Each structure stands twice: as C-alpha cells, then as structure tokens.
Structure 1
C-alpha cells in the first residue's frame, strides 16, 4: 500500500493533452494548492496539508513528471518548462471550480509557483515560495565553491543522454544523497516516506532530469525576459528560507523584493525540507500569508 495523506481523497485530473496529475484533495473552504520539490512528491506536505484542511480546501498534486502524475517525453525543451507546469496547476484548480486560489511551492514547486504568479496573476490570490530563488537569480548566486551545493543542476544541464544514464544507473544513491545532506533532522523523513520518495524518483529519472534541464534553458530565458520587462508579482508574497543567504554572500530579502513588492521574508532554522522539519513554523507562515489583504487589483 502506497503512502498517502490521511483523510485526503485521491484523484487523477487531466490538465493538458495527454497529461493527468495525481492530486490529494481534502478540507473545505477557500482553496490553497501546495506544490512539492525535488526529490519528493506531494507527501512532503502531509503535516501542513492536514492542518490547513481544517478550514481550507487543500489540493496537493504531484507535479508533471513526478510521483504518480504523468511523465510525458520532453519535446523541444518546453514540456517541463515552468510556464507549462504553471499552466497545469491553474488548469488543475479550475477543474475543481477554483478560478482564484492561494499557492505555495517548495524547491522545484516554488519555481512553478513563481511562474504561475507572474503569468496568471488573476488566478493567484496569495503566493508562498519556500527555499529557492527565481532561476535567473539562482544561476547568478551559485558560483565558486558554494556552487557545489547545486552540482546536480550542472549535471542535468548537459544534453540528453549522459545525465539520464548516470543518474539512472544509481538512482537511489543519487536521490538519497539529497535527502541526506539537505536534512538537518533525519527523523523528519521516516523510512516509509523516504522509500516512497526514492521509488517515485527511480521511476521518473528522464522527466526529473528534463525538469531540471529546463532551468538551464527555457526557464532561464523566461526569467531573463521578465526581469528585463520589469515584471512583478502583484499578490501578497511570503518567502521562507533557511539561513543560507549569509553563507552564500547575498541578501535574500533584497533579491526577492525586486520581484515582489508586497513581500514578507522569513528565515527558519532547519534544513531544506522545512515543511517536514518545521511544519508548525510553515503552517504559521502560510496562515499569516492567507490573512493578508491584497493591495490593489491583480494585473493581467
């Protein structure tokens, strides 16, 4: 029996031609969608989702290419662009009758959420971005010895073939490495959840590589174009991160404020997998975000 979020129902929802997402659905009230990161699945939100479901409708999908969602072959480099994946999430919410919803993303899911906030401002009422930066900023701050933390981004940026072969040959060791080194509290990811993450990632090597490869190509191009055009997130935004800005030598809050004028920036003392290591703090931050009133009207 596969791990699941207790009390949530599971559905498969078609969001694009030939692409259906696996989604856990629970609660009732104003909607919020929670997007997972790498190398995880929707299960990373299990603690947070259960709490929010007390007074919100909570949708927790596996992103395309991950978990039990469909994994289309990458064609032309756009299949796993964050633009495409953001459109998936807007279509998913719409399928449940939610044309406007709050959105929170962690890691890769944060990049999808960021793109959704830029391109679908009328759909996104509130936005939370956990432990990541826009792609254009990420490539700028990763340099020198500090860039070793993102070695997988350089590996998967290579043309198709070698990265998939190398990772696929030792998938559990590769994905397990990140679960180990990015976690301050190993008990936060119990054995059955770790096994679920590894099994899901093992089945999804080509699509996960395609998602990561997009960050060195089409996602970077989209971010560069938006920054040059002065694009901004128009909704209330909360960014949450580890205390890694000082270690890498940049001011994370200033970086984010350039994109999000209505910003609250928070730092938590835990590892990367903060929804599992510090769920009470993440729940508090999300509830605080949902209580904020949008300033002005969303822009097209």
Structure 2
C-alpha cells in the first residue's frame, strides 16, 4: 500500500503499548521520524518527505488519535498526554529496528518530539521544531493577540463534551476555517491532503482525540514542562528551530525560548504561514538538510 502523494512509501500499522499507529516508511539511510501537527496527519509532510527519503530512512507517523492512529483505550487517564504519545513513537521506532534517531516535529508533533527527547534522551540524536515553543512558555506568554488568533487552544480544552458536540454539528466548516486561518488565507493545501484531513476530522473519535490533546496541554503537559524546568532538565541533543518570519518580542523570540531548554540551538525564520512544510518546502529543506547531515547520524 502507498499513497500517490508519497510514492514508494510503504504503509503499515504498528501496535505500541498504548495505541495502534499508522506509519509510512521509505529510504535506507539514517532513521528520521517526522511528526505532524493539528489538525492534520502524516500527509502534511508530502512536499518534503520524498526529498528526505533520498538520504534518510523516513518514518511518517500519524499521532495517536489523528489520521488512522488510535488509542487502545481512548478513555484511559493520560491517554493523550505528550508523554504517552512520545512512548508511541519510541515503540514505533524500536519495532522498526531503530534504537537512535532524529525527530522533526511540527505543531503538536514538535511537542511530542521534545517530550520524547527530554524523557528518553538516549534515543534522540537531533530535534527539529517547526513553528512552536514548549507548552509551558505558550501559557506564560498568553495575551490578547494570542487568545484571538489561537482560539482553539482554549476552546478544544473545554470539558467533554462541549467542543466535541459543537464542532460535531459541522466539522467540515470548522476544519476549513481552522486550516485557512493557519495558512493566513492562502491556498496552500494539496486537494488530496485536504481530503484526507477532512475524512479523519469527520470521525467523532478523531475529533475527541484532538480535544483530549488540547486538554492535556492545559494540564498534564504543562505540569511535565514545569517539572523539567524546576529540575533543570535540558535537551541534550542538537536542536534546530524554524519559525514564521514575523516580529517577536525579545523575551518570546523562538531562539530565546528554546535556548532556555537546550544546550545547542540554532534556527532560522521562514517566510510562510504556520504551515511551513506545506507552504514553503524548499525553504524548510534548505535549513533542514544541512542540519541533519551534520548531526543526525545514528
């Protein structure tokens, strides 16, 4: 099985200690795990993954609850904490035969990626974060502009089943509104990728998982970040940060924030919307490839 947007990628479903995770794999070089964000699935990488697969063994995974991946027990306490989602990806890579690998994450995927690197530092050789800072710093920096622009952070985190019920009345409309807002109104999505996002979002269990993801961000995930900060834990691996090219206050600049979490951080601004890999794949690869070639050997 393969997808026309990802020629040559082989699909399978792997059972982890907490989920069934769909993955697509291609390549024969050093292992590289790519984790998508909200409200997408692994097809978010279709414009960069084929090029990366020329040099790396690229693993594209749907996060637990997203796309075609499902929790074994969606109602279990902590089922959508980032620590649990990170364990999924650790299990996936081990089942594929990789004991150490690089991770690239966008949006929610980047939050899973840095949690994986903090809690299992021996397995992550390098970390790349697209368009986000850690959850603890997001909450600390909330202001009027953020609240109006990132309204879903607050809405999806409301108690069950308020957001599920309201969005479920017209999930397609809500998804289109969200994707267009994240793309700043630009037409950047491939029709096949967009269709896949819609098919998944229309399923009540996927919508519920996304809400649980944001509920975790407001609770357990923020607490985990705070515990790491209090303990002085830092990311040991090299970190590359890519962000939207827009003004930032000095204290909230992505490099400033990430340098409080990691020993070695570099990065660059990309002239694009939040959806960097779908809107500006060449610019992302221009930063990603040299970094990975230098640091991502297993």
Cα pair distance change 1:148/1:185, threshold 3 Å: closer
Quick one: distance in 1 between partners of 2:210 and 2:4? 21
Greater mean deviation of Cα atoms: 276-285 or 97-106: 276-285
Any stretches of 5+ residues in structure 2 without a counterpart? Answer: none
Quick one: distance in 1 between partners of 2:145 and 2:100? 42
| Partner residue in 2 for 1:48 | 48
Quick one: distance in 2 between partners of 1:140 and 1:226? 15
1:274 aligns with 2:262: no
Greater mean deviation of Cα atoms: 283-292 or 147-156: 283-292
Q: Give the root-mean-square deviation of aligned CA atoms.
A: 1.9
Quick one: distance in 1 between partners of 2:111 and 2:183? 20
Describe how 1:1-300 pairs up with structure 2 within 5 A. Answer: 4-17=5-18, 19-75=19-75, 77-184=77-184, 186-203=186-203, 204-246=206-248, 250-293=252-295
Quick one: distance in 1 between partners of 2:246 and 2:88? 31
Q: TM-score, normalised by structure 2?
A: 0.93
Query: What does the per-residue CA deviation read over 1:105-127, in whole Å, with 9 as the maximum and x for residues that have no partner?
Result: 00000000010110111100010
Cα pair distance change 1:186/1:72, threshold 3 Å: farther
In the TM superposition, residue 46 of structure 1 has moved relative to its aligned partner by 0.9
Query: What does the per-residue CA deviation read over 1:56-103, in whole Å, with 9 as the maximum and x for residues that have no partner?
Result: 100001111000111445435410000000011011000011000000
Question: Which secondary structure state, in structure 2, belongs to the residue aligned with residue 32 of structure 1?
Answer: strand
Quick one: distance in 2 between partners of 1:252 and 1:21? 30
Quick one: distance in 1 between partners of 2:165 and 2:218? 19
Question: When the two structures are aligned, how many residues end up with a matched partner?
Answer: 293
Quick one: distance in 1 between partners of 2:4 and 2:111? 25
Question: Which secondary structure state, in structure 1, belongs to the residue aligned with residue 268 of structure 2?
Answer: strand
Runs of 4+ with >6 A deviation = none
Greater mean deviation of Cα atoms: 99-108 or 283-292: 283-292
| Partner residue in 2 for 1:298 | none
Question: Which secondary structure state, in structure 2, belongs to the residue aligned with residue 188 of structure 1?
Answer: coil
Quick one: distance in 1 between partners of 2:75 and 2:193? 32
Quick one: distance in 2 between partners of 1:205 and 1:46? 23
Q: 1:3·1:196 contact (CA, 8 Å) conserved in 2?
A: no
Query: What does the per-residue CA deviation read over 1:129-168, in whole Å, with 9 as the maximum and x for residues that have no partner?
Result: 1111111001111212332112111112221111111111
Quick one: distance in 1 between partners of 2:15 and 2:188? 32
Quick one: distance in 2 between partners of 1:253 and 1:2? 36
